[in-house]
Structure 1
Amino acid sequence: MTSAKHTTAPATPLLDRSDERYQVATGVMGSIRSFLDRVRAGDLGSLPVVVGLAIIWTVFQSINPIFLSSQNLINMLFDASTIGVISLGIVCILMVGEIDLSVGSVSGFASAIVGVLWVNHGWPVGLAIAAAVATGAAIGLLYAQLFNRFGMPSFVSTLAGLLAILGAQLYVLGGTGSINLPYDSPLVNLGQSVFMPAWLAYTVVALAGGVMFLAGFRTAARRRSVGLSTESLQQLLLRTLAITVVLELITLYFYQDRGIPWMFGIFMGLVVGLDYLLKRTQWGRMVNAVGGNREAARRAGIDVHKIYSSAFVLCAVLAAFGGVLASSRLASASQQAGTGDVNLNAIAAAVIGGTSLFGGRGSAYSALLGIIVIQSISSGLTLLDLSSSLRYMITGAVLAIAVIVDSLARQSRVSHGRA
């Protein structure tokens, strides 16, 4: 009597690991080697910004212990929110390989509209804000028409817009040149003294961790369904848990003082929303395609003109809304709003944070990281009682370094076939 022999069929190899030349990174050392390989290939991600921010914080904290106090960091959150919202618009326009040099003027003009309609003409504040944001949308649409219909370079059209909109701002404000907003109004309180309840902040962080885990789990499930490799459930859980715990500790540190401003909460909401649009929607994929190669995107059936129009409009709308938040922070609308270093900081924040000037690479979190770097430099120099001239020079140097790193990383990606 013979017994049947049962053999186990070999597991089907994963598609992205079926080539025997493919080196699979396993374990901690394998992950480190894989990370170093990506860095050498030019896939830097947010690494330069994180390293630079760590150096900046270490230097300023060693010189002045007040720098990393919860009170000073909260003031930084207030100041970062207004320029950060404008910088989000810059991320949108840079993603398609264009530029908007008038975001500062648009923000100043929007604040002037709010002041005139609300204070001088008695409009409800919500309606005045809506009118300011709608004006920004109209400006963005005009830029899109000049670009799509007449082929006017965005550098030229937005530079002309910078001057024209600044003139409109001066005209709207009139001879006084400044309008004080009601100090006890909800809009001004938003920029001065309104903070999220502690329980809400902790809950939001916990929910964000849960959403992060679910998104990673869904991505892993989709990859498994088509035979691609994924990280293990344990790795995903540990990574999500570590990030959530760190964010909760940071939140706890802020609530040793006043807490997290609602203005920064609005900014973070816009960051998360734009990140979702760029990474999880068809529109975001088309934006990346147009920024990467316009002609290839057109041949693939993408309406390139509509994508450019949406980028210009979204950039101007965010600039206008940033101007509204700036008027809230300053409790006034004046001729100086939107001038000075607003353009510089908004564009520099996006580029320093990792958005490529060549288009096709970047994220909403670039604006967040970049504006934190800029505000850290500004706050540190202010605490040291140093002149603003030094702040301009340091910010310019950091911007130049960011562009050089981006250019070198792009060349490295091309040479390694990752562009």
Structure 2
Amino acid sequence: MSDNSQQSAPQAQLLDRADVRVKHAEGIGGSVGAFLDRVRSGDLGSLPVIVGLAIIWTVFQSLNPVFLSANNLVNLLFDCSTVGVISLGIVCVLMLGEIDLSVGSVSGLASALVGVLWVNEGWPVGFAIVTAMAAGAVIGSIYALLFNRFGMPSFVSTLAGLLAVLGLQLYLLGSTGSINLPYESPLVNFGQLMVMPDPVSYALAAIAGIAIFVTGYREAARRREAGLSAQSTASLVVRAVVVTVAVEAIVFYLNGARGIPWMFGLFVGLVVAMNYALKRTKWGRSMHAVGGNREAARRAGINVRYIYTTAFMLCSMLAATGGILAAARLASSSQQAGTGDVNLNAIAAAVIGGTSLFGGRGSAYSALLGIIVIQSIASGLTLLDLSSSLRYMITGAVLAIAVIVDSLARRSRVSHGRA
């Protein structure tokens, strides 16, 4: 059925419009009304974090005009990438209503493995990186085994893993405590200096808009084939154009400084890939189902143990990847890698970004939005030359507000029948 033929067809012929008792959105006004209805019913999506980010940027920019300068934003993107990749793994386990407290230690172990195998043992850097990521996958599979086979709560198993992996990291680094990575190596350049050439960044921004249109068009075509209502081609074009223009403007502004870091591009690429996996694949639908109701998912024929195994393994692998990027950023593997606030920031970013602690609701973009919020707070306070203690207090307050909003939104969804 074509777009025009669907618009001319009586609404009663569309399966999702057959019930006249249900209010359906028509036109731009109807879409706005439907959005407001979703917000009132607790289906907030990324709205709270976007509003919060706008407030944070406005406050810091008013206090220090350097905050939104192109150079400072480029530095912020570099800082977002390492912990952001770790937070992306946290999204996977939080969607199942579980937690991984060892991601910081796993990232530190991966950093130590790269340093020991590459610098001390003389392995090719590629082999060292693959080995570190494989070690992360093995650690995640152990957590999954303890959960699936013995019913050990993930809080306990990953807490034990935090201590064990940290001990292994200290053992590998030995009495020296740190290993300096070759400063002129491609890995270190990737973490500290490498930015996209201007034509590449503009092309990727255009591809993002094209991908949004193609994805929306294919979904609309499938809905029409099934006899369901779908977005018009014109609305899809408008959305794609708006996103493309916005992203191109951001790229143009950042290219006025050093440009878009390749490391941040890798992070965004992982976010896009994870978002596709969670929304467009059988595995992703199973993740939502298991997180929403484990027993119902099992009765529906979903291999629940497999879902938990993949989630824990992905979480630990992404934690290891974040540790490798952190080593590249600092040009060293040290005993301090993965310690401090890495754990808390990775978990806080996923929650602040909108992933529910109750399971079943979340998005890969939660990690992206959440880590930008956290790093924006850190960057703003640094520019104001304020104590790091304030950063911890403000981040903790933002995290508490995010959890409260999530809890209230969940109650609202239950009362409106949207849970």
TM-score relative to the length of structure 1: 0.97
Task: Determine if contact 2:224/2:230 at 8 Å carries over to the other structure.
Answer: yes
For the residue of structure 2 that corresponds to 1:86, the secondary structure is helix
2:106 match: 106
CA distance 1:9–1:258, change in 2 (3 Å): closer
How do residues 328-343 of structure 1 correspond to structure 2 at under 5 angstroms?
328-343=328-343
Residue 200 of structure 2 corresponds to 200
**Aligned position for 2:325:** 325
Amino acid at match of 1:190: F
* Aligned-pair CA distance for 1:28: 3.2
1:20-44: CA deviation from partner (whole Å, max 9, x where unpaired): 2222223333222211110011110
2:16 alignment partner AA: D
Could you list the per-position Cα deviations for residues 168-187 of structure 1 after superposition, in whole angstroms to 9, with x for gaps in the alignment? Answer: 11110000101111110001
Distance 2:205 2:22 in 1: 38
Contact 2:11 2:18 in 1 (8 A): no
Secondary structure, counterpart of 1:284 in structure 2: helix
**Would you say the 8 A contact 2:136–2:316 is kept in 1?**
yes
Counterparts in 2 of 1:11 and 1:317: CA distance versus 1, 3 Å: closer
Q: In 1, distance between residues paired with 2:96 and 2:389?
A: 33
Distance 1:340 1:43 in 2: 34
Matched with 2:231 is 231
Q: CA deviation at 1:204?
A: 1.0
Q: Note the residue ranges of structure 1 that are not aligned, 5 or more in a row.
A: 1-7
C-alpha deviation, 1:11, in angstroms: 6.7
With normalisation by structure 2, the TM-score equals: 0.97
CA displacement 1:361-391 (0-9 Å, x = unmatched): 1111000000000000000000000111100
Counterpart in the other structure of 2:217: 217
- Aligned residue type for 2:340: G
Which amino acid in 1 is paired with 2:94? L
Equivalent residue, structure 1, for 2:359: 359
Partner of 2:296: 296
Give the equivalent residue in structure 1 for 2:381: 381
> Does the 8 Å CA contact 2:90/2:346 hold for their aligned counterparts?
yes
The whole-number CA distance in structure 2 between the counterparts of 1:343 and 1:62 is 31
Q: Deviations over 1:97-120 (max 9, x none)?
A: 110000000000110010011111
Deviations 1:209-266 (A, max 9, x none): 1111011011111111222212221111101110110000000001001100110011
1:179 counterpart SS class? strand
Q: What is residue 3 of structure 1 aligned with on the other side? A: none
Identity of aligned residues (%): 73
Deviations 1:56-81 (A, max 9, x none): 00000000000000000000000000
- For 1:111 and 1:149, the matched residues in 2 are separated by 30
Partner amino acid, structure 1, of 2:131:
A
Q: Distance in 2 between matches of 1:269 and 1:19?
A: 41
Partner-residue secondary structure (3-state), 1:252? helix
RMSD: 1.2
Highest Rg: 1 or 2?
A: 1
Residues 301-312 of structure 1 mapped to structure 2, 5 A cutoff? 301-312=301-312
Match of 1:32 in 2: 32
Alignment partners' CA distance in 1, 2:274 and 2:23: 35
Q: Which residue of 2 aligns with 1:315?
A: 315
Aligned to 2:53: 53
Specify the code of the residue in structure 1 equivalent to 2:347: I
* Secondary structure of 1:165 counterpart: helix
2-structure distance, mates of 1:328, 1:147: 33
Q: CA deviation at 1:10?
A: 6.1
Aligned mates of 1:153, 1:301 — CA distance in 2: 23
> Following the alignment from structure 2 to structure 1, what is the Cα–Cα distance between the partners of residues 24 and 90?
38
**Counterpart residue number, 2:140:** 140
For structure 2, the residue ranges without an aligned partner over 5 or more in a row are: 1-7
**Residues in 1 aligned to 2:116 and 2:124: alpha-carbon distance in whole angstroms:** 11
Separation in structure 2 between the aligned mates of residue 319 and residue 32 of structure 1, nearest angstrom: 39
Inter-partner Cα distance in structure 2 for 1:10 and 1:352: 43
- Give the partner amino acid of 2:330: L
2:285 matched to which residue of 1?
285
Alignment-derived partner of residue 416 in structure 1: 416
The 1:266/1:9 distance shift into structure 2, 3 A limit, reads closer
Q: AA paired with 1:220?
A: A
Secondary structure of the residue aligned to 1:333 is strand
Give the equivalent residue in structure 1 for 2:372: 372
What is the alpha-carbon distance in structure 2 between the residues aligned to residue 74 and residue 300 of structure 1?
47
Paired positions, count: 412
- Would you say 1:242 and 2:251 are equivalent positions? no
Report deviation, 1:208.
Answer: 1.5
In structure 1, what is the equivalent of residue 180 of structure 2? 180
Distance in 2 separating the partners of 1:384 and 1:13: 61
Residue matched to 1:157: 157
**Could you tell me how far 1:280 is from its partner in structure 2?**
0.8
